[in-house]
């Protein structure tokens, strides 16, 4: 059984960088640069209403003739979000990002946003797990206790 999203959040924390739909694209980009992240969860009245990612910026701003200072996040955010829960396994979440071509999964529990797992978090958790398994197998082969 692979690790759970809860185990990833235990290490990385529950903070989620967020923005409102009426903020400008420019403000979102400034926040993403400041926090060194590739996505912001869009929240309105304490509800998740979308996600804004570097990919949304790449495809929906200059290419569609929008000005980042004037256009709002609401105009370019993605609304078809894939969620996970703390109980979702890393393997299940990997399958979701692979099939849906998303890189960021908001983590929801009882209708509340409790974290965010990115593709990098999932790859790292998966590699750590494989690393641990290899060490265990090597120890077993050598006959160490």
Ligand X SMILES: NC(=O)c1ccc[n+]([C@@H]2O[C@H](COP(=O)([O-])OP(=O)(O)OC[C@H]3O[C@@H](n4cnc5c(N)ncnc54)[C@H](O)[C@@H]3O)[C@@H](O)[C@H]2O)c1
Task: Name which of 12 and 60 has its Cβ closer to ligand X.
Answer: 12
Rounded least distance, CB 65 to ligand X, Å: 26
Task: Name which of 67 and 113 has its Cβ closer to ligand X.
Answer: 113
CA-CA-CA-CA dihedral for 122, 128, 134, 136, to nearest 10: -120
Rounded least distance, CB 17 to ligand X, Å: 4
Instruction: Name the residue with the smallest CB distance to ligand X.
Output: 120
Rounded least distance, CB 138 to ligand X, Å: 23
Q: Give yes or no for a contact between 25 and 33, defined as CB atoms under 8 angstroms apart.
A: no
User: Which residues in this chain contact ligand X in the complex, by CB under 6 A?
Assistant: 12, 15-17, 37-41, 103-104, 116-121, 124
Contacts for 28-35: CB closer than 8 Å, 24+ residues apart: 28/52, 28/73, 29/57, 29/68
Backbone angles phi, psi at 43, to 5 degrees: -120, 140
């Amino acid at each position: 059984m692979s690790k759970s999203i809860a185990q990833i959040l235990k290490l990385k924390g529950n903070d989620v960088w967020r923005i409102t739909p009426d903020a400008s694209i420019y403000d979102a980009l400034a926040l993403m640069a400041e926090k060194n992240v590739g996505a912001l969860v869009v929240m309105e009245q304490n509800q998740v209403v979308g996600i804004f990612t570097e990919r949304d910026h790449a495809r929906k701003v200059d290419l569609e003739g929008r000005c980042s200072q004037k256009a709002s996040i609401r105009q370019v955010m993605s609304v078809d979000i894939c969620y996970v829960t703390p109980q979702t396994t890393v393997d299940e979440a990997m399958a979701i990002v692979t099939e849906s071509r998303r890189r960021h999964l908001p983590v929801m529990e009882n209708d509340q946003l409790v974290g965010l797992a990115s593709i990098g978090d999932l790859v790292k958790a998966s590699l750590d797990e494989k690393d641990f398994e290899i060490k265990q197998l090597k120890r077993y082969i050598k006959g160490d206790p």
